[in-house]
Amino acid sequence: MMETEIHVPVGSPTIRKFPIFVDEHNVTEGAMKLIKELRPGWDPNLIRTKLFTDGTTNKLVGCYVEDCDEDVVLVRVYGNKTELIVDRDNELKSFQVLHANGCAPRLYCTFQNGICYEFMQGRALDTQDVRDPVLLRLIAREMARIHAIHAHNGCIPKPNLWIKMRKYFSLVATEFTDQASNVRIQQEVPSQEVLEQEMMWMKEHLSQLGSPVVLCHNDLLCKNIIHNVKEGHVRCIDYEYSSYNYQAFDIGNHFNEFAGMSEPDYNLYPSREMQLDWLHTYLQAYKLFTKKGEEVSQSELETLYVQVNKFALASHFFWGFWALIQAKYSSIEFDFLGYAVLRFNQYFKTKPAVTALEIPK
């Protein structure tokens, strides 16, 4: 397993740990205890909190002093049973590595069931923004910058996609057989055998595509991308699913997210033309960051296009399983089961056309 691990740079600051538990149904009270430790100089009477409501994994609250919103401390409380789907140790390592490379905010501390970190100034993107020609190129460059980070200890890094997908699958396998379980699963979700078969098929085909294994974000939905208009850059937030993975998975997953999350519309999946524009910008930046020149050949571009669209299939599966687990445990109000059905349906709908794509000789 060592090869899939992210290694924190030597000399990184140690993360403070507080033995504080924050109730996910009353985040503010616990947040105030943490603020007392992290910002002892703040006047408790002037501290204000803002609840962010659009997360689908955790509860998030921002704390700041009235009339001074430059210093906002975010307190994130892990959702119920999310340790089943998120490797928390890995998340902290990703956070540190990305911060050391100028791609992530500062991590202030961990507590029993969450973390506190710096708020990134800027605006979270939506489905319109990610297709904007200017923003689209900024995103492609930022992703290339993350992918170029060296965060392993000399071992050849291995992708954790199949390990993680297998784990997710084993967590929901009982739902298919348990009579007391959700009738909707048995009616709307493909059978366990079918999912098992597809997973095997994907692993055999996709592993052979030669996509490089790099440090990936793995969850670049629109709202995880923050645009700082003043500075003219974008940054990616939320590293819960970050890991070593296939380069093409990270990009294909982002393209799937053009559809949005609350009511996905897959007609918004980027056209071939838009993808080639994005991928050309990405490859130029990636080659520059990894010191491989910056000339992008037509065959490199076509190859990445095929890899990305094939890995986008795996992304549907991955989040389909994720949503089935969330449907079982999460206390967040969201139709996770409906979302799982959507992702599996989209997988089967796009599979024939994507399977037909061939890498140029």
Tokens for 66?
A: 């009235």
pTM score: 0.95
The answer to whether 259 and 266 are in contact (CB under 8 A) is yes
Tell me the C-alpha distance between 126 and 258, whole Å.
9
77-127: per-residue pLDDT in tens?
Answer: 998 888 899 999 999 999 999 999 999 999 999 999 999 999 999 999 999
Q: Is 276 left (phi over 0), alpha (psi -120 to 50) or beta?
A: alpha
150-175: per-residue pLDDT in tens?
Answer: 887 778 889 999 999 999 999 988 77
| Mean pLDDT of successive 10-residue stretches along the chain, which has 361 residues | 75 92 91 96 94 77 90 93 91 95 96 96 96 98 97 84 94 71 78 94 96 97 96 96 96 98 96 98 97 94 98 97 90 90 97 96 84
pLDDT at residue 143 in the model: 98
Helices 298-329 + 336-356 axis angle, to 10: 160
Which of 224, 268, 226 has its CA nearest to residue 250? 224
Which residues does 335 contact at the CB level (< 8 Å), separation at least 6? none
- Looking only at the bridges linking them, the beta strands covering 16-18 and 107-111 are parallel
